Amino acid sequence: MVSEELKSRVAENCPGYTPPVDIRLLSSSAVTASCENCKHWQRGKCVIDYFDGVKEMLSRN
């Protein structure tokens, strides 16, 4: 299971992160970047295969 903190860190650094709605229209406290609210996150995994690469990049830095 992937922690919420890791999903947030990955989303903040992911070039493919795409929220389901335009988050600029919402207050900053309403939506935080997370894989859980990315349109590419389905059934608990990234369907465009960015998650593992971004996670690896974060672990190196």
**Domain total of the chain:** 1
Residue 47 to residue 28: CA distance in whole angstroms:
26
Q: What is the pLDDT of residue 45?
A: 95
Q: Please report the pLDDT score of residue 43 as a whole number.
A: 95
pTM of the model: 0.81
Using DSSP's 3-state secondary structure scheme, residue 6 falls into: helix
- Helix, strand, coil percentages (3-state) for the chain, rounded to 5, are 45, 5, 50
Range of the domain at 11: 4-60
According to the model, what pLDDT value does residue 56 have? 97
Taking phi over 0 as left and psi of -120 to 50 as alpha, with beta for the rest, 16 belongs to alpha
pLDDT by residue, tens only, the chain of 61 residues: 789 999 999 999 999 999 877 655 655 555 689 999 999 999 999 999 999 999 999 999 8
What pLDDT score does 29 carry? 53
